[in-house]
Structure 1
């Protein structure tokens, strides 16, 4: 599509106040800055961060779009003056600076990836947030190495499924937790050595029985609460524990003796607060190290469900209930 056929206005999802109903509104199509591309969006990924932003608990940066949505897939329709490697008509998936729940969205060029060969737009929209979050936390922060043992909590989430597949493809021995036997078996089929049903099993006891007390090199935790102590107990000497969320709470009583005795590192991060430059480094490393595994089919995102833009409330309800496995995707028109 040439720039002279881009409409002036497009539909997007709007929210008038914290926790108020979502609705479809019309606004101006954004204009890309010099280092941005304009994307006609086919599909947009839904993330728990969107629900937190909607509730007023995760305010966007001052320079970000107030429209929800952190990742999209679609077609490039215009580029900023300094963009050289992207052209109108290219298929792209991107981490946005907000604004993804819309028919048109802009994205910094350093956060844009090609759609892997054979991927639908629905699958491509499931990639950016999970790829960058998992890469940054498991590989840049925790320095996960081939052959090491990694424990990934929330394995059935969009983030968790990507973590299981990426860590397995890059040579780690993966253990994970999920909320049903069916999800556990599905995660084992995607590379986990053992998936533990946290509703019927105590993951600390299961892994201890497997000889992994003091044997987990890296833990990726989005649960927090009482998991914090269990993670410390299971960690190997020189182990690394990374938190990306605290769904069971930020506060708990913890015995930190294992931190000292085993010389552990505890860290955490959010993706959105990091600079465009930091995210561009993540993207470039992913293109070198992870993208070949997307191209050859070793890593393929798990899609839980799709919803048309007008059913965004139902999509958020699906995310909130927490029974999904993989990514929940909004479709703008007839994306596949």
Structure 2
């Protein structure tokens, strides 16, 4: 089978032929039809001192199961988070990470919607939004951000502001339901908002916090780091909450499952429309990573093995 790998920090990524893996205990072997490319995986390639497997969101058909698998069988269509080699024709997926793809939805829909949607929905819930409040969504054209814009609108936001890296993305974000779009370099982001969902981190934390009304809430879910000055919180009685999907999945599995069902229902109702950037062929994984690293993507970056 084909697999994408790299051998030194920073890449390059290359295609290789390797034997098909066998599913281990509790694992499904999935014939991948779509693979979601995420910023954390892109950063691992450039930042990890040693090469790591290129994992992430996968979707496709179960072709074999390991010992102890109870919920799935060959022929089932599933999506989930692969911690092994996911950029491949066949990928291992632990049963605990797998969920079924509903009839009528494609594998591309699944990788664009489920994981990114769960992050967007979780960050939104962490902000405790009230109907009619104004929200700022940074990285509003990203795989998570473009869903957060739609979810905020579906949850009753009175005004949705999208922040993007490039003004060329403005029409795309407005098309998702944003009332106003700003770029990161602008000095004035308009009227203050009640809460903000930040998917960028770093130097953007300060202006995102400044965009809040007194008593406003900032939810940070990016892996981009960053520092906030305590005075900036105290002066406006503002709060910052960190959101991590892995903790929710581990500690609140019933809530995790409930939100996954909510996402699929919103998708079925037409209230949530995942957008795919590309898609890219498996052998073009390097180009897919470049799109994420440069933040040039509109929606979710997807590979098609």
TM range (shorter): 0.7 to 0.9
In structure 2, C-alpha distance between the alignment counterparts of 1:282 and 1:68, rounded to whole Å: 28
In structure 1, C-alpha distance between the alignment counterparts of 2:284 and 2:209, rounded to whole Å: 42
Which residue number corresponds to residue 63 of structure 1?
Answer: none
In structure 1, C-alpha distance between the alignment counterparts of 2:154 and 2:24, rounded to whole Å: 36
TM-score, normalisation: structure 1: 0.79
2:237 to 231, 251, 263: 263
Alignment check: 8 A CA contact 1:110 1:280 kept: no
In structure 2, C-alpha distance between the alignment counterparts of 1:232 and 1:160, rounded to whole Å: 17
Structure 1 residue 164, shift from structure 2 partner:
1.0
1:158 to 143, 146, 164: 143
With over 3 angstroms needed to count, the CA separation of the structure-2 counterparts of 1:117 and 1:183, relative to structure 1, is farther
Structure 1 residue 292, shift from structure 2 partner:
0.8
Matches within 5 A, 1:225-244: 225-244=202-221
User: What is the SS of the residue equivalent to 2:190?
Assistant: helix
Structure 1 residue 323, shift from structure 2 partner:
1.5
In structure 2, C-alpha distance between the alignment counterparts of 1:178 and 1:237, rounded to whole Å: 24
Matches within 5 A, 1:287-326: 287-326=260-299
Alignment check: 8 A CA contact 2:13 2:286 kept: yes
Alignment check: 8 A CA contact 2:57 2:79 kept: yes
With over 3 angstroms needed to count, the CA separation of the structure-2 counterparts of 1:59 and 1:72, relative to structure 1, is farther
With over 3 angstroms needed to count, the CA separation of the structure-2 counterparts of 1:281 and 1:105, relative to structure 1, is farther
Structure 2 residue runs without a partner (length 5+): none
> 4+ runs of 1 displaced by more than 6 Å?
none
Question: Could you give the per-residue CA deviations for residues 64-122 of structure 1, whole angstroms, max 9, x where no partner exists?
Answer: xx421210110122334544443321222212224221112222334333334543322
With over 3 angstroms needed to count, the CA separation of the structure-2 counterparts of 1:82 and 1:167, relative to structure 1, is farther
Structure 1 residue runs without a partner (length 5+): 1-9, 61-65
Counterpart check, 1:21 vs 2:4: no
In structure 1, C-alpha distance between the alignment counterparts of 2:53 and 2:298, rounded to whole Å: 25
Structure 1 residue 163, shift from structure 2 partner:
1.2
Structure 1 residue 284, shift from structure 2 partner:
0.4
Provide the aligned length of Structure 1 versus Structure 2: 303
Which residue number corresponds to residue 3 of structure 1?
Answer: none
In structure 1, C-alpha distance between the alignment counterparts of 2:112 and 2:49, rounded to whole Å: 21
Which residue number corresponds to residue 2 of structure 2?
Answer: 11
Which residue number corresponds to residue 5 of structure 1?
Answer: none
In structure 2, C-alpha distance between the alignment counterparts of 1:52 and 1:163, rounded to whole Å: 22
**Alignment RMSD:** 2.8
In structure 1, C-alpha distance between the alignment counterparts of 2:147 and 2:49, rounded to whole Å: 23
